[in-house]
């Protein structure tokens, strides 16, 4: 089966491009105009060697060893030593989708003509992506400055015939995998090891993965929240556009619009049109305010991450116009760390609000439904402990939401005395999204059960579509049974976005 080809124009990747590259394997082709810039930057580097100049990262040691000049006859050995010595990652391996995104962003950075690497290095990375050779990158071991050194070293090992890759899900030595694909490893030349290892691509890929998973969860939260309003006989009034227009936050306005689209008229709504309830609890009434704030945090993070995905973040940088090679700090991933921290807030709050809605449903005094959403309560516990699970996960997310960017521990003998912790900031979003996904699964099951308990009354077509999607994978609850498989089934459903996609377009728009 042939794969789609993505033509990469350096520095011009969009959020849609990044999402597409993360979600499915594809062939990558570099826009032909980029090669001239790559060649011009390489000439600047070779001129430095020819002229005998001393330039950091070209013919010196690294980090605290930057004052050590390396003899020209040892520069190739220096590149290999750099990659091997920096490959110190530990822990579980990053998934192939994340690794593919890392590699494409590294290609994007190197191809802009500021890194001074040869064409062969970029072509080697492209060939690995196109042949599905994904380096084995341990998840832990980077502090997000000076770039993602350890994980990017693991990414680079196969290029020089070392390390391991996954091919069609199988872990194997890179040499065997290259032979299978008909590829040859490279001998890195001056400046190329540092060009590969310096950069924020791992932190950025992890944060983007967190964003994309949060988009799925936010879509599910809109569906779950609307179903809970219906099951709990909640009011539609709090979603009136006039309320949100006079506050002015675009995220809140959009969230209210999404809820209105889901909460059109229904038999269930008509059944309590003349009820004496004055106001709903905040978890129902304030959904546009909370989810709107989450949308804005996600949008702001997305904007930062798109800039970073297109950034040249290695060091030193080659400027062709004046032949200068400048040493700076673009590898410091503080923007990524702060974006990931803000995503963490949104992910935690999406889950926290969902848990509160679900807790409302199982409380018969608030929902006017049977206790714990089951007949013969007492003999049956129903959703009692499912709510405990949701509470446990929401509480865990509170601890994980603590900002990583305020942490710093000096490295490299205090040469790198302030670091971003962006890699952890992005990586912990995976655990948080998993927690929130399960919280939402609990709520979706509870809301579907609540709607079942309102029968024979029907909801509107969109809510009934969502209900039917849940019932295809998890039956109604008439008495206690083994609960966990239903949670897994609905959590899987959330990933597939069964009834709509409201969030992704909002991440692309300008408020």
Q: Which residues neighbour 463 within 8 Å (Cβ) at sequence distance 6 or greater?
A: 226, 227, 230, 262, 263, 266, 451
Residue 374 φ/ψ, nearest 5 degrees: -145, 145
Note every long-range contact of 172-175, with CB atoms under 8 Å and residues 24 or more positions apart, other chains counting. Answer: 174/133, 174/135
Question: Is 56 annotated as catalytic?
Answer: yes
- Annotated active-site residue in 6, 22, 56, 438: 56
Instruction: Identify the DSSP state of 474.
Output: S
Note every long-range contact of 270-273, with CB atoms under 8 Å and residues 24 or more positions apart, other chains counting. Answer: 271/233, 271/454, 271/457, 272/233
Pairing of strands 317-319, 164-167: unpaired
- Exposure string of 133-154, with b = 16+ CB inside 10 Å and e = fewer, is bbbbbbbebbbbbbbbbbbbbb
Q: Are 194 and 206 in contact (CB under 8 A)?
A: no
How many CB atoms within 10 Å of residue 21? Answer: 24
- What CA–CA distance (Å, rounded) separates 393 from 477? 23
Instruction: Identify the DSSP state of 403.
Output: -
Q: Are 242 and 462 in contact (CB under 8 A)?
A: no
Instruction: Identify the DSSP state of 411.
Output: B
Active site residues: 56
């Amino acid at each position: 089966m042939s794969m789609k080809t993505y033509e990469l124009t350096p520095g011009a990747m969009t959020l849609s491009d990044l999402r597409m590259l993360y979600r499915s394997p594809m062939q990558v082709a570099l826009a032909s105009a980029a090669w001239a810039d790559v060649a011009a930057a390489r000439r600047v580097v070779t001129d430095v060697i020819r002229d005998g100049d001393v330039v950091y990262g070209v013919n010196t040691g690294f980090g605290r060893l930057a004052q050590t000049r390396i003899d020209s006859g040892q520069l190739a050995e220096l590149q290999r030593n750099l990659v091997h010595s920096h490959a110190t990652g530990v822990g579980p391996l990053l998934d192939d989708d994340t690794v593919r995104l890392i590699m494409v962003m590294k290609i994007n950075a190197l191809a802009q003509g500021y890194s001074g690497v040869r064409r062969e290095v970029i072509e080697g990375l492209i060939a690995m992506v196109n042949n599905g050779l994904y380096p084995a990158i341990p998840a832990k071991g980077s502090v997000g400055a000076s770039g993602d050194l350890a994980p990017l070293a693991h990414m680079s090992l196969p290029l020089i015939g070392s390390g391991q890759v996954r091919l069609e899900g199988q872990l194997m030595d890179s040499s065997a995998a290259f032979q299978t694909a008909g590829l040859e490893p490279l001998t890195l030349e001056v400046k190329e090891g540092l060009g590969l290892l310096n950069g924020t691509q791992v932190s950025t890929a992890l944060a983007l993965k967190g964003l994309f998973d949060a988009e799925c969860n936010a879509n599910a939260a809109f569906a779950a929240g609307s179903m809970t309003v219906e099951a709990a006989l909640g009011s539609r009034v709090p979603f009136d556009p006039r309320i949100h227009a006079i506050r002015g936050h675009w995220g809140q306005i959009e969230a209210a619009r999404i809820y209105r689209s889901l909460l059109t008229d229904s038999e269930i709504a008509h059944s309590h049109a003349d009820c004496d309830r004055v106001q709903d609890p905040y978890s129902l009434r304030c959904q546009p305010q909370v989810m709107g704030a989450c949308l804005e945090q996600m949008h702001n993070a997305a904007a930062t991450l798109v800039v970073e995905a297109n950034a040249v973040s290695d060091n030193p940088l080659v400027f062709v116009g004046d032949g200068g090679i400048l040493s700076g700090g673009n590898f410091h991933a503080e923007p990524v760390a702060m974006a990931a921290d803000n995503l963490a807030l949104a992910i935690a709050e999406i889950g926290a609000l969902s848990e509160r809605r679900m807790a409302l449903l199982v409380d018969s005094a608030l929902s006017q439904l049977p206790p714990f959403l089951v007949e013969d309560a007492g003999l049956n516990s129903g959703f009692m402990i499912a709510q405990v699970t949701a509470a446990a996960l929401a509480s865990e997310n509170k601890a994980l939401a603590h900002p990583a960017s305020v942490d710093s521990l000096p490295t490299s003998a205090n040469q790198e005395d302030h670091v971003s912790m962006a890699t952890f900031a992005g990586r912990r979003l995976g655990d948080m999204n998993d927690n929130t996904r399960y919280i939402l699964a609990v709520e979706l099951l509870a809301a579907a059960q609540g709607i079942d308990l309102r029968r024979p009354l029907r909801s509107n077509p969109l809510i009934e579509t969502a209900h039917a999607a849940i019932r295809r994978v998890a039956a109604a609850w008439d008495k206690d049974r083994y609960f966990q498989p239903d949670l897994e089934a609905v959590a899987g459903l959330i990933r597939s976005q069964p009834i709509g996609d409201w969030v992704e377009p909002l991440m692309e728009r300008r408020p």
